[in-house]
Structure 1
Amino acid sequence: MKIQGSVALVTGANRGLGAAFVEGLLAAGASKVYAAARTPATVTVPGVIPVLLDVTRPDQIERVASELTDVNLLVNNAGIGEMGPILAPSSVEALRRQLETNAFGPLLLTQAFASTLASNQNSAVVNVLSALTWFTLPSASGAYSASKAAAWALSNALRQELSSQGTSLVAVHAGYIDTDLVRGIAAPKIAPAEVVRQTLAALEAGAPEVFADDTARHVHAGLTTKPPMYVGMGA
């Protein structure tokens, strides 16, 4: 798709990667950017239109989809991450919360906007996933990884169904992105603007996925090592 002249809706747009997406889209020539957040007043990027949206609220999703009928680019960026061992009793509720935001949210939004995307030419969906889609950190990322793995499977299914109406879907994978969320973690981090740059290039090129950094590329390659990376270091 062409970014120039597009009309985009970005979820989780008030900070971090979401704010970088709205800035990058404007710089690339998008004619209008809707910046969605649970608290629209926290959207501070000039030139965008703040929108009230909690992606775990189907009623808000339906309202936004009925109002924003000019959207031809949906960026499903909103997400949460909760770390902890999967054997902990609290992990069940943590998994439910993360599935609601990280998997069901993008699915419901894509369903709600599908007809709009079909009507508006040059349309696409971006789903922000993670390198942890394919790998689980020991005693830490079980629930988060499960939610992103579900979102990846849903992205692959949606890509196939959306293709019949001329809508493309790009899944974005990265390791640590240099935002407030991981500020205290000492590890290589990719700049949010670089993730956005690669994603917009993938949209223009019609690519189905983005492996934004060495971490994502390494973990994805580990799917086919022997033993595969996802079985764990002790296997």
Structure 2
Amino acid sequence: MTVENPTAPSFVLVRPQMGENIGAAARAMLNFGLDHMRIVAPRDGWPNPAAVAMASGAGRVLDAAVISPDLPHAVADASFVFATTARDRDMTKPVYTPEAAMALAAQKIAAGERVSVLFGPERAGLENDDISRANAIVSVPVNPEFASLNLAQCVLLMGYEWMRQSTTQQGITHEMAGTDWAQNSEIEHLAKHYEERMEEAGFFFPEHKATSMKTNLRNMWSRLPLTRADVQMLHGTLRQMVRWKERG
């Protein structure tokens, strides 16, 4: 699942609950020139007549939407992922305002990278496991006494900042020394490789802390700006350490 020569980020709706909100999100995206929508495990299935009715003129965004069974599949081709949230998270990740996040997205896309922005389900937003797969958090400054944003409102806000920021990033390039940034699928494979080997070594102890330890490890991988060459080296390093231990 790869978007050819993307000129804008993919907006990923994670487990959306109401078709009407998906349709409203499609309208908000098209208002600001965005048409790469991805939908993860929509609660009411797909296609959704309520989404089509609400899209009202933005049906082509829904027609081109990619439906994914889970989040890793939806962001597999991305090299940088933002997770939107209005709540404080106990995670060590860079936190951006919507303005700064979309300015960075424009820079990365101008340099040939693929960027995704995650939006959580309406009831409770993104789960910590979802956010652990993101490289950075987008924190929306809202009234702390009423922090809930409708899904389409959040999409509209990010879309507005994308259009405002993207036009200021013309001509920015980055020297990559003959390699490319690692895609999210490659980071996911690396994370699983280390998790499996460390599980075998008894690293995740005591058992009641194993889940949080694995989440912290995923957060570490997602914070690192890794190239494909970096990922290959880290795989090789771990394989050699295992071989050395087996020989010993």
| Same fold flag (TM > 0.5) | no
TM-score, normalized by length of structure 2? 0.33
TM-score, normalized by length of structure 1? 0.34
